[in-house]
Structure 1
């Protein structure tokens, strides 16, 4: 058993790598949309249903997986989950029609839903006293995997077509091997973990006033995740179209804007954890949204070169709170590590899926430029962060 204060970096780097591999598998699905449109003659409605299925299954299931494993820890759920994704990738490479694609995506979504809350729990166990840094190492893997979508499209799927997805079954297999090792370590942590002692002791001794304060804080966190997820998806899904329309760039060149934002977002995800360990989680969450707000407001009026710098800054700043909100929620209810991880990360996926549909409809209704201008106000919802209890107050609630 590791010391409670010792950070187990080897485990963190392995689980972070597995997160990168898992989210790379997810990134393959939207990267394949142009390929599938050509090879199977899919309509945009069918493509939308595929994206919705992937995001909703991967998001809605996460809190339920977390709640179940909080009560009955299942270390080997991690390799089993990636096994489901591996099966889904194999089906995706060979699928002859829309329904086969949809079934394959369902398996990929289920694998992701199992992986995320359990992977976050492993990061929590391996964190020692550096929970912000640990969660950042874990989460930056996922953000890096998502950022690989434009590269995957250009290097693998364009030359190889739909069958090119078969190569990603090997990536999934590699992740399964890593996760078998992780599961063995994870199993040694469960019985003696102070987190599980808290979970078994329950929370019946909390008074009603404390319970109301926790509920209020969770509601605020939901709005923060909403603002960040919607704005992130506006940029990652629609800014390429804006760049084509406003700057006259090619489709390939427009992908560069998206890649810059996603890559800098991965950097921000990593930096946010160590900053939170030093300056406090609530302070980093406040900075993440409020510092991004003026940049977001200027963004629709920037030229093609200035936009690159603004996107890079925005990605770093707005995503710096991604891992931090997970740790904040975990410490808000310390006996529910999986549930809180599944809620915050799953909510991000779900909000993103709903946001993509809503923003797409708004673009059809009022146009691309007015929608980008309206979306620029989303980070201002970060003002709600001032309603969150401070890190010190949260520690005092649990005698810390």
Structure 2
């Protein structure tokens, strides 16, 4: 553990002269692994809807409200958090976000009412909203001259997590009951440790990265071109998740 915290580690070393153009694979691997953990735990809530419906005698309307609460805090808050952290970078918000997920899972494991499940869904969603904007920025920082590769590896972690989460829920929570959801908090603890190291690396490299991004802001594109590009990208993402 002491070795991993030394200044010789790629997760914490100060930036070299060519660091901005160098792809830092250990950081990309760490953030991709954390993305796997985050999305795996996020998917547990959705996977155990049948268990919650039967155990707490919930209606489909209540299940829909749980989904609304989760999606509101887990998705709609992300742009606001991203806007804030763009102006005031918070590298150590990464373990904080994972901490929200940890609390949400512990709350979910003991939730005995509809209101308690709503609170759990809100905490789990907040963990996702805090995690994704900052982790995406770190992936871009570590990408160097290969942003496409870095973003792809980052996304692979999230996709694997979304696939593994329901399987683990079926193997652990369904046979042992709702209380066993607390076991997933162990994954959150692992994530907190990994993201603390990533946050430390980010704090060392953030200043130089933001100077470079500011120097190349827009790449000569007008605000209208940027706006249309983001709108098209948003529409494509909407269509993807709509049919999913």
Q: Give the alignment's TM-score, normalised by structure 2.
A: 0.88
Structure 2 matches for 1:99-118, cutoff 5 A?
99-118=115-134
Residue 162 of structure 1 corresponds to: 178
Structure 2 matches for 1:2-151, cutoff 5 A?
2=16, 3-151=19-167
Compared with structure 1, are the counterparts of its residues 190 and 134 closer, same or farther at alpha carbon in structure 2 (3 Å cutoff)? same
Give 3-state SS (helix, strand or coil) of 1:4's partner.
helix
Q: Alignment length, in residue pairs?
A: 228
Structure 1, unmatched stretches of 5+, are: 234-400
The 1-side partners of 2:216 and 2:163 are apart by: 41
The 2-side partners of 1:82 and 1:23 are apart by: 11
Do 1:57 and 1:106's aligned partners in 2 also have CA atoms closer than 8 Å? yes
Do 1:31 and 1:152's aligned partners in 2 also have CA atoms closer than 8 Å? no
Q: Deviations over 1:350-379 (max 9, x none)?
A: xxxxxxxxxxxxxxxxxxxxxxxxxxxxxx
Is structure 2 residue 241 aligned with structure 1 residue 225? no
Do 1:6 and 1:128's aligned partners in 2 also have CA atoms closer than 8 Å? yes
Shift of 1:48: 1.2
The 1-side partners of 2:51 and 2:135 are apart by: 31
Shift of 1:200: 8.2
Decide which of 187, 197, 218 is 1:171's aligned counterpart.
187
Q: Give the alignment's TM-score, normalised by structure 1.
A: 0.55
Do 1:70 and 1:199's aligned partners in 2 also have CA atoms closer than 8 Å? no
The 2-side partners of 1:168 and 1:15 are apart by: 19
Higher relative contact order (CA 8 A, sep 6+): 2
Greater C-alpha Rg: 1
The 1-side partners of 2:215 and 2:113 are apart by: 48
Q: C-alpha root-mean-square deviation of aligned residues, in Å?
A: 1.9
The 1-side partners of 2:208 and 2:21 are apart by: 14
Shift of 1:202: 7.1
The 1-side partners of 2:170 and 2:100 are apart by: 26
4+ aligned runs moved over 4 Å, structure 1: 200-203
Shift of 1:158: 1.3
The 2-side partners of 1:91 and 1:100 are apart by: 7
Structure 2, unmatched stretches of 5+, are: 1-14
Residue 342 of structure 1 corresponds to: none
